[in-house]
Amino acid sequence: MSIDSVPAEALDARRTDTRERAICVAAALFAEHGYAGTSIRDITDELGVTKAALYYHFNSKDDLLRAIVDEPLDRVRAVIEESTDLSTRELRAAFVNQVLLAFAACPPEVVAVFKDPELQGIINANVSHSGVVNTLAMTLARATSGVENPQEIAKDHVLRAVGAVSAGEAMLNAWHMVHQGEGGVTPEALAEIGAVITRTLEA
């Protein structure tokens, strides 16, 4: 069968599948061998595709790393975009828990990539460039002040929201450092982190 005879929908699905598999394989290899210790050849060999097939989706190994970092950020961004009513403490607490679950859904190999000291500068730059952390803090600050216009947010609400988000991020990082190799964050740990964020936000 020639490629011309393959339905467009099937081609799109095949390309998407290759892209997603490439991200998973690259994350696993980066976690096992380190970013510097993994070559494009290693990734294509593990995938069973040619370099040309991989380069159809990614221009470089750096592009693959950015895609790995973007995956959890995209999940958090989706939670933020879907939030409609954060008018009460209870609704904000539920929203915080949803955000934490989105972060915690990272596979162990993705978590390992995030924690690789060699990559911290690149990852932090990508996270900062995404703006998702700032968006999350401002979403919580607007909700706490009960306003839509950022100019109308009470200054103490901005400080509390930034502190709450920073505390949550630090606690997640600390949990992974203490429990390296133990898989995902436990429900108990997520509940404790969520409680700290909510207390900081609602103080």
DSSP assignment, residue 44?
H
- Residue 1 pLDDT: 38
Interior angle at CA 196, CA 190 and CA 199, nearest 5: 135
The answer to whether 65 touches 113, Cβ cutoff 8 Å, is yes
pLDDT in tens, 158-177: 999 999 999 998 888 788 77
CATH architecture classification, 3-202: Orthogonal Bundle (1.10)
What's this model's pTM, rounded to 2 decimal places? Answer: 0.77
Copy the structure tokens of residue 80.
């933020």
Average the pLDDT over 96-125 and give the result. Answer: 82
145 sits in which H/E element: helix 132-145
- Residue 182 pLDDT: 66
What residue segments make up the domains of the chain, in order of their start?
Answer: 3-202
- Residue 102 CA to residue 77 CA, distance in Å, equals 9
Copy the structure tokens of residue 194.
């969520």
Copy the structure tokens of residue 128.
């900062």
Range name among 48-57, 94-103, 171-180, 184-193 with the lowest pLDDT average = 171-180
Residue 19 pLDDT exceeds 90:
no
- More reliable by pLDDT, 99 or 127: 99
- The one-letter amino acid code at 4 reads D
Mean pLDDT of the chain: 85
pLDDT in tens, 77-90: 999 999 889 999 99
Nearest alpha-carbon partner for 139 in 153, 126, 128: 153
Q: Look-up: residue for tokens 């490629």?
A: 3
Please list the helix, strand and coil fractions of the chain in percent, rounded to the nearest 5, in that order.
80, 0, 20
Q: Find which of 6-10, 154-158, 179-183 is predicted with most confidence, using mean pLDDT.
A: 154-158
- Residue 132 CA to residue 126 CA, distance in Å, equals 10
- Residue 93 CA to residue 117 CA, distance in Å, equals 32
- Residue 9 pLDDT: 47
The answer to whether 197 touches 164, Cβ cutoff 8 Å, is yes
